[in-house]
Amino acid sequence: MPADTISIMGIFSSERRAASAIDQLRETPWTIEQVHSPIPSHVIEHALEPPKSKVGWFTLAGGIIGFFTGFFLAAFTAARWSLIVGGKPVVALVPFFIVGFEFTVLFAVFGNVLGLISQARLPRFETPALYDERFSGDCFGVLARCSADERDELTRLFETNGAEIKTNDV
């Protein structure tokens, strides 16, 4: 973070007030860094307008990789042993598609978990800046960044929406 910018946390007692502040912040040049909520809130999520998740692409990639891994593993194993049973081909498609399907499901789950972990940026070992314990109880928090000379304007925006203010410059 550049030296001439500061972070200000608005602590709200109501989810509607926090969502209203987020809506107003989206129309300003200030940056919303983090939002904290004690509950899953569709109102705040709607106000933030988050981008579509990329976890599905990880799941798709895992499934495709899994299908080909399962199919080729079964084909490779059958070709290495080359047991010809009743004149049937060594590499039979239908049974290998079944193995491919099972690997599709397995690798899709692996891809989904890896996508979730990477997109959620987990694990997080540090407490976020200006975090308040009330965010896991009954309050909502909006952390915004602005230049030092715009501090009063951002503080006023939060206070007009009923927020308690907390800053990183003490």
CB 100 within 8 A of CB 65: no
d(C-alpha 87, C-alpha 35), whole Å: 66
Report the pLDDT value the prediction gives residue 18, as an integer from 0 to 100.
Answer: 96
pLDDT (tens digit per residue) in 146-155: 998 999 999 9
- Which tokens hold the place of 56? 């599905």
Please state, in angstroms and as integers, the Cα–Cα distance from residue 44 to each residue in 16, 41, 50, following that order: 8, 5, 10
Please state, in angstroms and as integers, the Cα–Cα distance from residue 122 to each residue in 45, 116, 117, 133, 143, following that order: 20, 8, 5, 20, 20
| In the predicted structure, residue 170 carries a pLDDT above the cut 60 | no
d(C-alpha 103, C-alpha 27), whole Å: 47
pLDDT (tens digit per residue) in 104-139: 999 999 999 999 999 999 998 988 878 999 999 999
Can you give the residue ranges of every domain in the chain? Answer: 5-52+130-167, 55-119
Mean pLDDT of the chain: 92
d(C-alpha 35, C-alpha 9), whole Å: 9
CB 56 within 8 A of CB 81: no
pLDDT (tens digit per residue) in 17-32: 999 999 999 999 999 9
Report the pLDDT value the prediction gives residue 1, as an integer from 0 to 100.
Answer: 55
CATH 3.40.1130 fits 5-52+130-167, yes or no: no
Start-end of H helices in the chain? 15-26, 42-48, 55-81, 93-119, 151-160
Q: In the predicted model, what is the mean pLDDT of residues 60-82?
A: 95
Please state, in angstroms and as integers, the Cα–Cα distance from residue 120 to each residue in 117, 132, 133, following that order: 5, 21, 21
Report the pLDDT value the prediction gives residue 82, as an integer from 0 to 100.
Answer: 78
Residue 144's φ and ψ, nearest 5 degrees, are: -125, 150
